[in-house]
Structure 1
Amino acid sequence: MNLFEEIEQAYKRIKNDVYQTPLLYSNWLSDHCNGDVYLKLESEQITGSFKARGSLNKLKWIQEQNINALPVTASTGNHGLGFARACDLLGIKGKVFLPHNAVTSKVKAIRAFDIEIEFHGDDPYTTEMYARKTADKQGWIYISPYNDTQIIAGQGTIGIEMLSHISPPDNLLATVGGGGLISGIGSYLKKQSPDTKIIGCQPENSPEMSVSVQSGEYKEVESKPTLSDGSAGGFERDSITFDLCKKLVDDFILISEDEIAGAIRSMIKHHSKLVEGSAGVAIASLLKHPERFADQTTIIVVCGANISEDKLQSVLCE
C-alpha cells in the first residue's frame, strides 16, 4: 500500500465536491504558547466534519472499480452523515445502520439525504456487529469509518491543503479515535517533512490507541463517557491504523473532560467558532502544554462542529 499515492489520487477524486477548509491563524493560541498556531477548520467542512472526505473518496473508488455491491455502514455520528451525503451526491444506493437510541438530531441530519436507514440494537457496538454480519451474508460492502485505505486517504487530503498554504509545520495536533484522521494526514506530512512532529490527542476517558501504541501491542481499554464522542471507543484489533499510528505518531497527549469543555468555551470566546468535543481535545492539548510549542509553527486540526444540544448546554453552564 502506497498511502502517499492514494492520498494524491483521493485529492483528485474529491477536491471539487468538498470544501477546501480555512487555515486560520490564531492570535489567541499563538500568544498563549509564544509560537505560530494555525487552525485547520474541518469544523466548517460540508456535513460539519472531516468525515465527508473519506466517505466520498471510498464511494467514488467503488464506482471506479465497477463494484455493484451495496455499500453500508454503521454510525451514529459524523461518519454516518458523511457516508449518507456521499451516497446522495453520487446518486447511489447505500444503507446506514443505527441503534434505536441514536440521538434524534443526528438521525434527522442523516435522513436529510436520500439514504436507507435501518435500526438495530441499543448501542453502537451491537449495531456495528449486526451491520457487518448482515453485509457478509448479503454480499454487501461494509465501510469502516477508519479501517480502510480509501477512507484514510480521503482524510489525508487535509494534509495536501495545509501544505498548499504554508511551509511544513513543526507540529501537527490531531484527535485520535480509530486513527483514520491522523494516519492520513500523518502519512502525507511525514513524506513531505520527516521532521514534523505528529502528536495524537485523546481524552483521558477513551485512550485506547495511545495505550496500545505506547505498549507496542493492542490493548483493550474501557471507555468512559466523554464530551469527545466523535473519538470515543476503541479500534479493531487488526486495524491498519494501529500500525500506521505506531509508525507515524511521535507522541500522545491525554486531556481531561474539564479541559475539553474549557477548549470548547475558549473557541467560542476567542474565535466565535462552535466546535465539538473531539475538536476540543486537540485544542486543549496545546493549551495544556504551551511550552512545548514555543517558537514553533503548529497546526491544530479542528475536526468537527457537530456537538449535540445537551452536550453544548452542559459545557456552557459549567
Structure 2
Amino acid sequence: MELLKKIKQAYKRIRDDVFQTPLIYSNWLSDYCNGDVYLKLESEQITGSFKARGSLNKLKWIQEQNLTSLPVTASTGNHGLGFARACDLLGIKGKVFLPHNAVSSKVESIRAFDVEIQFHGDDPYTTETYARKTAEDNGWIYVSPYNDQQIIAGQGTIGIEILNTIPNPDNILATVGGGGLISGIGTYVKEQSPYSNIIGCQPENSPEMSMSVRAGKYREVESKPTLSDGSAGGFERDSITFELCQKLVDNFILISEDEIADTIRSMIKHHSKLVEGSAGVAIASLLKYPDQFADQTTVIVVCGANISQDKLQSVLCD
C-alpha cells in the first residue's frame, strides 16, 4: 500500500523533530471499564496537538521534492500552529490565512513563529475557500489539514509509536474531524494488527464523517457549536479520508456536549492533565460505553491540549 509506505517514510523523516509522546496506563479508566486502558498523550506534543506531525512531514516532503512555491494554509487552530512551527523550524517562508474573528490567543500562538499571516472573511469556510483560490491563482502550494497523503502519513506515525509499545491492542479510539488522524493511524494499525478495532469518535453537534460513512456516501451535515472545536465542521466532498474511513473505521461513537465537559473535568481530577474538547470526545466514548471495552486492551488517542481560556472557564464553572 502506497500510504503505508509513506507513513513509514514519515516516521523516519520527522521523528527527530517531534516528541514521541507518552503512552500512559490509566488506572481510572481501566477500573471504570474493567479492562486495560492506555492514553496516547498527543496533548503533550510540541505544539500541544498531533497536528505538528502532519504539517512537518508535508513541508519536509516539499523540501525533498525541491518545490519552491510558497506553502500556504488556512486554519484557526492546531493545524495552523503546526504549519507555522514547521515553517519556522525548516527556515522556509509560509503563509497562514485566518478569519478576522479568529481567537486572539490562537493568533498570538501562530505569530510566535516566523510566518506571514493574512486575514480574510469571518468564518473558517470562507477563509479556506479564499486561501485555496488564492493559492491556485498564484501557483502556491495549499497544505490541507487532512485531505493530503503526506499529512495523513505524518499523523499515521502515532500508530507506529502505539504498536511499538502495545503490539496488538484490541481497540484504538480517536476523534474524527476531517479524518486525517484516524486514516493515518488506521492504515498502519490494520496492516500490522488487523484484528484491532479502530473506533472513530465525534461530537453529536458535528458528526459529518460518521453520518456519511453510515450512509455510504457524502452527506453534508450542519454543524452546531461544540466544545470540540478541533474536530468541528465537515470535510471536503472529494476528500481521500472519506474512503479511508469507510475502509478502516470499525465503529463510530457520538458524544454530547455535557459528556465532553464532564471528561475535561475528569482528566484534571484523575490525571492532572488539561485537554481540549476534541480530546475529551475520544475519552468520553469509553466512558459512555464501558462494557464494550471490558477485559480488553484499549488505547485512546488524546489528540490535543489547546483549549481556549473562555472554553476552559465555561467548563470549570458549569
Report the TM-score when normalising by structure 1. Answer: 1.00
Give, in angstroms, the shift of residue 168 of structure 1. Answer: 1.7
What residue is the counterpart of 1:185 in the other structure?
Answer: 185
Structure 2 unaligned segments of length 5 or more: list them: none
Structure 1 unaligned segments of length 5 or more: list them: none
Give, in angstroms, the shift of residue 164 of structure 1. Answer: 1.1
Partners of 2:177 and 2:230 within 8 A in 1: yes
Query: In 1, Cα distance between the equivalents of 2:132 and 2:256?
Result: 33
Does 2:155 correspond to 1:162? no
Does 2:282 correspond to 1:282? yes
Does 2:39 correspond to 1:39? yes
Deviations 1:219-264 (A, max 9, x none): 0000000000000000000000000000000000000000000000
Give, in angstroms, the shift of residue 166 of structure 1. Answer: 1.7
User: What letter matches 1:207 in structure 2?
Assistant: P
What residue is the counterpart of 2:219 in the other structure?
Answer: 219
Give, in angstroms, the shift of residue 24 of structure 1. Answer: 0.6
What residue is the counterpart of 1:271 in the other structure?
Answer: 271
Q: Give secondary structure in 1 for the equivalent of 2:165.
A: coil
Deviations 1:89-139 (A, max 9, x none): 000000000000000000000000000000001110110011001000000
Give, in angstroms, the shift of residue 2 of structure 1. Answer: 1.1
What residue is the counterpart of 2:234 in the other structure?
Answer: 234
Does 2:249 correspond to 1:249? yes
Query: In 1, Cα distance between the equivalents of 2:138 and 2:99?
Result: 20
1:83-102 equivalence runs, <5 A = 83-102=83-102
What residue is the counterpart of 1:210 in the other structure?
Answer: 210
What residue is the counterpart of 2:51 in the other structure?
Answer: 51
What residue is the counterpart of 1:314 in the other structure?
Answer: 314
Q: Give secondary structure in 2 for the equivalent of 1:144.
A: coil
Query: In 1, Cα distance between the equivalents of 2:120 and 2:167?
Result: 47
Give, in angstroms, the shift of residue 35 of structure 1. Answer: 0.2
User: What letter matches 1:177 in structure 2?
Assistant: G
Partners of 2:74 and 2:96 within 8 A in 1: yes
Does 2:95 correspond to 1:67? no
Query: In 2, Cα distance between the equivalents of 1:167 and 1:160?
Result: 9
Deviations 1:161-194 (A, max 9, x none): 1111122200000000000000000000000011
Query: In 1, Cα distance between the equivalents of 2:136 and 2:77?
Result: 23
User: What letter matches 2:74 in structure 1?
Assistant: A
Query: In 2, Cα distance between the equivalents of 1:39 and 1:17?
Result: 22
* Alignment size in residue pairs: 318
Q: Give secondary structure in 1 for the equivalent of 2:230.
A: coil
Q: Give secondary structure in 2 for the equivalent of 1:254.
A: strand
1:21-40 equivalence runs, <5 A = 21-40=21-40
User: What letter matches 1:310 in structure 2?
Assistant: D
User: What letter matches 1:4 in structure 2?
Assistant: L
Q: Which runs of 4+ in 1 moved over 3 A?
A: none
